[in-house]
Structure 1
């Protein structure tokens, strides 16, 4: 197994919680939608600079990509904007555990159906138990 992938994923999860807390507070200062816009604006500038030096693909190919593959930005915007709204209302912990439960449920459905180019992986009882335990954690955290 590639342990480093799990470590990087844990770091990504920690950074998402930090981001949610920061942008939740920024939303109180500049506005919720403005906070979300600021995130994507700054991210676009940073990624644009990184792309100049490290990019190996071709953005022009996005015109040839299937349209469903271009919807990720839409979902990212929904995710961050809802997080900016929910963190000040229910806290970072409850917001993030809700996000994780939603991610787990949807990822299991996507893999079970083989949607979006994913390998088909059946839902089993261990996965269902994991979802139940995560849902229970929502109740316990709340």
Structure 2
């Protein structure tokens, strides 16, 4: 951390990073609980529906408590088409998590999700997509993304090696 930062400034920088980490830490729990819910309900898509309904039940009282007012649907309807893909992306992510987390394990699934998020984010930044400020790709940023993708591959390799070792131990024990 830069020693020249004042305590207030460092807190203003560190608090959002901490909150983002806590939000990120919730994701594997979401994936695991939704996968179990999908098994319990009999189909992964029912768990997606249930998760979205629970989200709605939680967020509406928060909006009311914050006195957020009504959404400006007319302005949103006049906006670009991509304003609405968040819901589709959420369903795609949730359904993938429901199906793949039991097969891959939480760590393997989440590291793949993170790698995909970072690659897509680099593209979004480079082209300034979705109304975001353009942040061109450079060698340093590509190297960082390559390290994350390499980390994903290492986690996958480690998971496969652990599974092979466990299978060998079971075979010896029988």
Change (3 A) 1:85 1:125: same
Structure 1 position 46 matched with structure 2 position 58: yes
Q: Deviation of residue 35 (structure 1)?
A: 0.9
Q: Partner of 1:13 in structure 2? A: 24
- Aligned counterparts of 1:10 and 1:77: Cα–Cα separation in 2: 22
Q: Deviation of residue 69 (structure 1)?
A: 1.1
Q: Partner of 2:95 in structure 1? A: 81
Q: Deviation of residue 70 (structure 1)?
A: 2.1
| CA offsets 1:47-72 (integer angstroms, 9 cap, x no match) | 1111111142532x123211421221
47-56 vs 98-107, which moves further: 47-56
Q: Which has the larger radius of gyration?
A: 2
Q: Deviation of residue 102 (structure 1)?
A: 0.8
Structure 1 position 36 matched with structure 2 position 48: yes
- Aligned counterparts of 2:106 and 2:73: Cα–Cα separation in 1: 35
- Pairing of 1:100-139 with structure 2 (within 5 A): 100-139=114-153
User: Which protein has greater RCO, CA pairs closer than 8 Å, 6+ apart?
Assistant: 1
| CA offsets 1:62-89 (integer angstroms, 9 cap, x no match) | 2321142122111111111111111011
Change (3 A) 1:109 1:49: same
TM-score of the superposition, structure 1-length normalised?
A: 0.92
Alignment length, in residue pairs? Answer: 141
Unaligned runs of 5+ in 1: none
Task: Could you list the structure 1 runs, at least 4 aligned residues long, displaced by more than 4 angstroms after superposition.
Answer: none
- Aligned counterparts of 2:128 and 2:46: Cα–Cα separation in 1: 36
